[in-house]
Amino acid sequence: MEEPKTVFWLRPVNDEAIAIVRDDANRDRRRPDPENGSAHIFRIGTDQTAKIPSRLVTFGRLPFNSDILLRGNTYANTDQCYFDLHPTTGELLLHDISKNENTKLVDFGETQSSNQILRRPRQCVVQLESDWILNIGGAKFHLRPRKAGNDKTKAALAAERHAFLQQIPEEYRTFEGMQSGPSVATAKSYNLRKVHPKARKRGEEIQWAFRRSLGAGAQGQVDRVVDLHTGEHYARKVLQWRPLHEWNIFTESAFKEKLMKEIDLVETVDHDHIVPYFHHQGWQMGCAVEIFMPVYDGSLSSRIRQLRSARQYSATGAGDIGPPDPMRVLLGSMLPQILAALEYIHSRNIIHRDIKPANILFSRDHWAVTDFGISKMIDMSSPTATRTATPFYAAPEIYHGGEQTPMVDIYGLGVCILECLVSLEGVESREAHWLPRHRQFQQLMRQHAPHFECMLADTAAERPTARALRDAFFPVYPAFPASPVSPVPAGPAAHTRSRTRQATVTLRSVDASQHDHGTVVSVAMLPSVMDWTRSLAAVILPQGYTRPGSQDSQRDVTMQSILEQDAQHPEWDQSTQPDSVALSWTKWWAWTTTKARARA
């Protein structure tokens, strides 16, 4: 009975259903019942041709529109119902488009089970892990899904559904295409599925089913779930109330009041690179709060582990030979997007305060910041704030109890950059050892990416803003519209934009050599944002910035000194220097992508 490309079977339960199966007009979907040789059942699969290509099967009274014909006055005059697959998640959906709304899906064997179709538009997910009773008017069927016994079978089923969705003609994937069909009811039903339900009315709860665990952290469990009404997948974060001594919160009501403020804060921002909250529920006393967010492929933390799976890099050992090419490509993709997100929230007087790889998510080449659980509107009248950041990524001022500004996010992102370039597993993580760790971070950044060393400066005033970093390294990345809210004051680095060369950037030679304990190691690398020469490295250094531990005054270069050198040597052009290539960011990115694909 487990025929390949089968999605489910329909076995008639009463006389009305038997008559539908026996109807000769429905013979193309009919199969002998393996449990009763004298009876027949319907098979619904992805290899069958439906009269409306975007659907698996349609039930109705119109011969030119329906795959399974219904006869009699108990059914709708046009379409009665249909099954299709969600275009992105592949979930099986049942749609009731009958005028009398008499299509129902109930649990198999449960006499008191309620209808799974709960709201308009009248549709629901058919969970393929269970058997169901499908009522179509007066006809009753036993809906038996094709079972997936193991992971291999599950993967095969998913591939079959994906192939079905891929072969749907483009004109049937849009509302306009569906309007040309013969059924007005059909067109209206598809219009309601066109828009992703990014927000629900408060008080309207999501009925969901578990798909798999995505992880757990200090702020709660995160699971992948399916919305049983729409078929959308969400990352569902569950937050159980607990005392928060650092916030003087000792009751559930105070906890939920604080949490609601944080959620309201996230809902006030609207940016492509900030993970939105689609819905939240569970605000009654005694209930866990559930927050629904989009599902991403993974985090920067998981991506780093994937890229390092073939080779090991140590922060202090002999294996530290520098970053692999994919890491630099990753940084070139991730950095401008996360800097844009930080620039956006900082301009609105918001600091995140927990920037770390686990809170930077990706989906293909799209990156976004998540988990504003400890973010806070900047109170300009209160210079200090509660220490709640993850200690490993916390800026020095957090330990000093000093003023917390958006520069704590710049420091956290700097540590993220460093973690992409070299493993930090051997670095002391205990809070009491923050100063040696801070110095070690600076030393490693000086070795692997001196261009970004200023992000790890001792004081906030010495660190560049997100805008200054983006203008220096990613000048062609589109800026967000100017905000009416004044940005938080920062150090001199905030004013480097007007002095930045934006026409071209210069890359070092593709081949590089590094010394590892006296041994010269040849490293074949793609040029990247890390390989830009000193003009771009210097523009983000604040005026008067001194690298910690540096004894070489020549390294303490400022933007002013660069301008003076340029004035003395106006004819100097980096594009004419040996082993250098002058490229715009766009051309450089296309070039590195082409090279990476060629190597692959």
The domains of the chain are located at 6-194, 208-293, 298-599
Report the CATH fold assignment for 208-293.
Answer: Phosphorylase Kinase; domain 1 (3.30.200)
533 secondary structure, DSSP code: -
Q: How far apart are CA 62 and CA 57, in angstroms?
A: 13
Q: Which tokens belong to 137?
A: 């008017």
Angle at 504 between CA 585 and CA 407, to 5 degrees: 65
State residue 433's pLDDT score: 81
CA atoms within 13 A on the CB side of 156: 14
Q: How confident is the model at residue 49 (pLDDT cuts 50, 70, 90)?
A: very high
275 secondary structure, DSSP code: P
Q: Which tokens belong to 107?
A: 């649990």
Q: Which tokens belong to 510?
A: 């593709």
Helix then strand count (H, E) for the chain reads: 14, 25
Q: Which tokens belong to 475?
A: 């000048």
Contact (CB, 8 A) for 387 and 394: yes
121 preceded by a cis bond (ω within 30 of 0): yes
Q: What is the pLDDT of residues 382-406, one digit of tens each?
A: 444 444 568 899 999 998 888 889 9
Mean pLDDT computed over 190-215: 67
Q: How far apart are CA 254 and CA 243, in angstroms?
A: 9
State residue 500's pLDDT score: 33
Q: Which tokens belong to 464?
A: 């560049």
Q: How far apart are CA 214 and CA 13, in angstroms?
A: 40
pLDDT at 275 over 60: yes
Q: What is the pLDDT of residues 416-437, one digit of tens each?
A: 999 999 999 888 888 778 999 9
pLDDT at 97 over 70: yes
* Among the four given CATH numbers 1.10.510.10, 3.40.50.300, 2.60.40.420, 2.60.40.10, the one describing domain 298-599: 1.10.510.10
Q: How confident is the model at residue 217 (pLDDT cuts 50, 70, 90)?
A: low
Q: How far apart are CA 96 and CA 117, in angstroms?
A: 8
Q: What is the pLDDT of residues 313-349, one digit of tens each?
A: 444 444 454 444 688 889 999 999 999 999 999 999 9
Angle at 349 between CA 294 and CA 369, to 5 degrees: 25
Give the range among 76-85, 197-206, 327-336, 565-574 with minimum mean pLDDT: 565-574
Q: Which residue has the tokens 């929230």?
A: 345
pLDDT at 256 over 80: yes
pLDDT at 493 over 60: no
Q: What is the pLDDT of residues 280-312, one digit of tens each?
A: 999 999 999 999 999 999 999 999 999 888 665
Q: What is the pLDDT of residues 562-596, one digit of tens each?
A: 333 334 433 333 333 333 323 343 444 444 445 44
Among 456, 493, 449, residue whose Cα is nearest residue 471: 493
Residue 420's CB is within 10 A of a number of other CB atoms, namely 24
State residue 45's pLDDT score: 97
Among 482, 479, 476, 483, residue whose Cα is nearest residue 272: 479
State residue 334's pLDDT score: 96
Residue 413 or residue 64, greater confidence = 413
CA 5 to chain centre: 31
Q: How confident is the model at residue 371 (pLDDT cuts 50, 70, 90)?
A: confident
Average pLDDT, the chain: 75
Q: Coil, helix or strand for 480?
A: coil
Residue 92 or residue 317, greater confidence = 92
Q: What is the share, in percent, of the chain residues with pLDDT greater than 70? A: 67
**How much is the pTM?**
0.72
Mean pLDDT computed over 137-161: 90
Contact (CB, 8 A) for 372 and 293: no
pLDDT at 477 over 90: no
Contact residues for 518 (Cβ-Cβ < 8 A; gap 6+): none
Q: What is the pLDDT of residues 502-523, one digit of tens each?
A: 222 222 222 222 333 322 222 2
Q: Which tokens belong to 430?
A: 């205990």
State residue 127's pLDDT score: 95
> Which residues face 107 on adjacent strands?
132
Give the range among 264-268, 436-440, 578-582 with minimum mean pLDDT: 578-582
Q: How far apart are CA 22 and CA 33, in angstroms?
A: 12
Q: What is the share, in percent, of the chain residues with pLDDT greater than 90? A: 48
Q: Which CATH architecture has domain 6-194?
A: Sandwich (2.60)
Q: How confident is the model at residue 204 (pLDDT cuts 50, 70, 90)?
A: confident
pLDDT at 464 over 90: yes
Mean pLDDT computed over 5-11: 97
Residue 130 or residue 426, greater confidence = 130
Q: Which tokens belong to 329?
A: 């490509």
Q: How confident is the model at residue 202 (pLDDT cuts 50, 70, 90)?
A: low
State residue 462's pLDDT score: 96
Topology agreement, domain 6-194 and domain 208-293: no
Contact (CB, 8 A) for 97 and 185: yes
Q: What is the DSSP string of 202-261?
A: TT-PPPEEEEEEEEEETTEEEEEEEETTT--EEEEEEE----BGGGTB-SHHHHHHHHHH
Contact residues for 221 (Cβ-Cβ < 8 A; gap 6+): 213, 215, 237, 238
